[in-house]
Amino acid sequence: EVQLVQSGAEVKKPGESLKISCKGSGYSFTSYWIGWVRQMPGKGLEWMGIIYPGDSDTRYSPSFQGQVTISADKSISTAYLQWSSLKASDTAMYYCARQISIAARLDYWGQGTLVTVSS
Amino acid sequence: DIQMTQSPSSLSASVGDRVTITCQASQDISNYLNWYQQKPGKAPKLLIYDASNLETGVPSRFSGSGSGTDFTFTISSLQPEDIATYYCQQYDNLPTFGQGTKLEIK
């Protein structure tokens, strides 16, 4: 069974750094891309970027380029989304999802990680 | 970016009704269009891929059609468990989502 399990909820202060994770199982982790999707409170879905764990090839949506960093450790089948300096506007639910390619459907999703940034 | 315009933004219907949601792309995306269902507090779930293909395990009352710039998502007979927000998503280029349609029971 394909599963993506994300790390738990985080509460941070503005200016702090954060790295959240997404661990894949039940499939060949290095043969699929992992995408990240943001959902701000009460709002819609925004595709942020994607990584291919096989070779760490990474692409970003223009809206998120320079704002976050996506990485992966294929040895432990885990992808990451990180911020160097959080802002209140980063408060959102973040989902990881599996994709067969950069331009493709998101066929399996993690359960989401809620990030709250507040002073 | 390719913009996706979904309508309506919200919809109220009765159990058993036929429900239709539309999605329009800002440029020709062939059939590179997927539909997702998101129930409150849950992750989105893929329902339809490549505009008209039903994902495995999804009930046959859900269907999709269209190509080019205009797409339609239909629930043939609305069930109480279908209450959710529905999103279209294009993948002609970097993925983008429509703004969502919140479906409620009348």
Nearest to A105 by CA among A48, A33, A38: A33
Which chain B positions have a beta carbon within 8 Å of A42's beta carbon? none
Average pLDDT over residues A92-104: 95
The one-letter amino acid code at B1 reads D
Residues in chain A within 8 Å Cβ distance of B43: 95, 109-112
Q: Indicate the pLDDT class of residue B22, thresholds 50, 70 and 90.
A: very high
Write out pLDDT tens, residues A23-50.
999 999 999 999 999 999 999 999 999 9
Which residues in B10-21 are b (16+ Cβ under 10 Å) and which e? ebebeeeeebeb
Rounded to the nearest 10 degrees, how much is the dihedral formed by the CA atoms of B67, B89, B24, B59?
Answer: 70
CA distance A114 to A95: 9
- pLDDT tens sequence across A69-97: 999 999 999 999 999 999 999 999 999 99
Q: Which residue of A has its CA nearest to B86?
A: A44
- Residue B1's pLDDT is 84
Question: For residues B5 and B90, is the Cβ–Cβ distance under 8 A?
Answer: no
Predicted local distance difference test score (pLDDT) of residue A16: 98
Q: Do A106 and B36 touch (CB under 8 A)?
A: yes
